[in-house]
Amino acid sequence: MKFGGSAVGTTAALTQVLSIVLHERSRWDRLLLVVSALEGVTDALIEAAHLAQLGNRRGYRRIAATLRTRHLALIEELPLGSTERSALQADIDRLLFDMLDLCQAMANTTGGKVLDDNVDAVVGVGERLAARIIAALLRQNKLWSVAIDTTDLIVTDDVYGNATPNIPLTRERINKHLLPMLERDIVPVITGFIGGTTTGKPTTLGRGGSDYTASVLSVCIDADEVWIWADVDGMMSADPREIPEARVIPALSYEEVAELAYFGARILHSRMIGPLRQERIPLRIKNVFKPQEPGTLIHDLSTLRSQALKAVTSIQGLGLTAERSGPLSLIAEIVDETLFNTIGSHADVMISSQSSTHSFVCFVIPTSAGPDAIHTAQTTLEERLLHQPETQSWRVHPVSIITAIGAKLDLFPGLIGEIFQSLRDVRVLAIAQGPSRCSLSLVVEPQDADSALLQLHQMILNSA
Ligand code: ASP
Ligand code: MG
């Protein structure tokens, strides 16, 4: 079970976590928890690391002090015995001291080489704090529980800020260090989001990466199920912050949920589905405040022929336009390289269309790349394209990608017609049906995104 930042951020949420764990502990032979940092803590740590890189000592010290106050206030409110509480206080202080040391080291090298690996060590402190708090809370309630840092357990590549775990190497370490604990009936509380390179340098798995940790761990221990506890009722037919009428989707296939996560449903980390799908491990998304509700179940639905659209998402992307036609391979290469260098992820999906006189290419900026990614990628890309005569005529502009998701769109051609009919006043720059055949993406101007989303969601509601 993985508990997200909003499910561990307050005393009320932690009380829920405790009752859920006590209840589920009696139903399953073995239980393993993965936790995120308290809500907002990772943002603060990223800010601290930036300030350290700029040499702003007062800035990162202020953040460390705020984080200390927040965590201490939280454990003050929790029903902990005095031994647990003072041990926790000492842990919190030690972790934040270490964080300050790392920031100090970064501030000292300002103007010189930027130490990317220190950034990840700073940013991962939030999960290490949260794991200790939750393990203490469980111990206080008679469970054998231990907080575990994953820097030496989840082995990743060295793409700092957006690393990918190496499953075979991780499995070896898990067999050696984690399985024996499970056999001894311990409930490990594991840090989400963080890993380490083969040489032990701390890494992080991209924003929202605790989901990915849960997925990798479940594959490595052959889990029966993975449950993600959040503060929403499940996967929704649209982002409820944008569409208040959005509803819970009871069941999704791995393909559908992978498209949903990739195309912007912020509740799941997009790369977490791959490993689960390969091993056919069911995934449940549940609301920590309504544990009796079924939430969303993601599993193998490949035999089901469903006609309904289930969800619609909106995500930011960059479009590239040129008033000429020709091979797109050079552009694709430049885009991929630039994305990898600026935001640490490849241009996994590219939507393109050409006529004899125009070319258009568009790619997604994954939400795991963080909120500044779109701007950074655009400026870097513009810069790159200008320096090459063959690419100077390309224009880079932000776009929105609206994706409708539902089982097997191609089996029901009428659906695609309906989608277009519902979008009459939206200018569509390009379209693509996903090869999984359960998604249709429309590239639109950013100012049209909201109305496209609303109209497609209305179509989902009408068809139910
Ligand atoms: N705490 C990390 C983040 O905010 C990871 C996570 O929440 O899954 O991105
Ligand atoms: Mg999340």
pLDDT at 399 over 60: yes
How many CB atoms are located within 10 Å of the residue 311 CB? 27
User: 131 falls in which pLDDT band (50, 70, 90)?
Assistant: very high
Residue 410 has a pLDDT of 76
Residue range 174-212, pLDDT digits in tens = 999 999 999 999 999 999 999 999 999 999 999 999 999
Task: Please give the residue that has the higher pLDDT: either 322 or 435.
Answer: 322
Helix (H), strand (E), coil (C) string for the chain: CEECHHHCCCHHHHHHHHHHHHHHHCCCCCCCEEECCCCCHHHHHHHHHHHHHCCCHHHHHHHHHHHHHHHHHHHHHCCCCHHHHHHHHHHHHHHHHHHHHHHHHHHHCCCCCCCHHHHHHHHCHHHHHHHHHHHHHHHHCCCCEEEECCCCCCEECCCCCCCCECHHHHHHHHHHHCHHHHHCCCEEEEECCEEECCCCCEEECCCCCHHHHHHHHHHHCCCCCEEEEECCCCCECCCCCCCCCCCECCEEEHHHHHHHHHCCCCCCCHHHHHHHHHHCCCEEEEECCCCCCCCEEEECCCCCCCCCEEEEEEEEEEEEEECCCCCCHHHHHHHHHHHHHHHCCCCCCEEEEECCCCEEEEEECCHHHCCCHHHHHHHHHHHHHHCCHHHCCCEEEEEEEEEEEECCHHHCHHHHHHHHHCCCCCCEEEEEECCCCCEEEEEECHHHHHHHHHHHHHHHHHHC
pLDDT over threshold 80, residue 298: yes
CA-nearest of 371, 338, 365 to 349 is 365
**Closest ligand 1 atom number to CA of residue 205:** 5
Split at pLDDT 50, 70, 90, the class of 87 is: very high
C-beta 37 within 6 A of ligand 1: yes
Residue 211 CA to ligand 1 centre (angstroms) = 8
Work out which ligand 1 atom sits closest to the CA atom of 368: 9
State yes or no: pLDDT of 229 exceeds 80: yes
Residue 243 in contact with ligand 1 by CB distance below 6 A: no
Q: Please say if the pLDDT value at position 115 is more than 70.
A: no
Q: How far is the CA of 453 from the centre of ligand 1 (A)?
A: 26
Q: Which residue's C-alpha comes closest to atom 8 of ligand 1?
A: 208
Would you call 51 exposed, middle or buried from its count of C-beta atoms within 10 A (0-12, 13-18, 19+)?
A: buried
β partners of residue 440: 404, 433
Residue 257 has pLDDT above 60, yes or no: yes
The pLDDT tens digits for 304-343 are 666 678 999 999 999 999 999 989 999 999 999 999 998 8
Q: Which domains does the chain have, with CATH numbers?
A: 2-231 (3.40.1160.10), 311-462 (3.30.2130.10)
How many angstroms separate the alpha carbon of residue 25 from the centre of ligand 2? 23
Q: Does any ligand 1 atom lie closer than 6 A to the CB of residue 42?
A: yes
The pLDDT of residue 130 is above 60: yes
Q: Which residue has a Cα nearest atom 2 of ligand 1? A: 208
pLDDT higher than 90, residue 412: no
Mean predicted lDDT score pLDDT of the chain: 93
% of the chain exceeding 90 in pLDDT: 80
pLDDT band at 114 (very low <50, low <70, confident <90, very high): low
How much is the average pLDDT of 51-55?
93
Cβ-contact 54, 110 below 8 angstroms = yes
Contact 212, 220 (CB under 8 A): no
Distance 253 CA to ligand 1 centre (A): 24
The average pLDDT across 73-88 equals: 96
Ligand 1: which residue has its CA nearest to atom 7?
208
Pick the atom of ligand 1 nearest to 193's CA: 5
Answer for the pair 409, 437: CB distance below 8 angstroms, yes or no.
yes
From the alpha carbon of 211, which atom of ligand 1 is closest? 8
pLDDT score recorded for residue 60: 98
- pLDDT of 464 higher than 80: no
What single letter denotes the amino acid at residue 303? T
Determine the pLDDT at residue 302: 67
Residue 370 Cβ inside 6 Å of ligand 1? The answer reads no
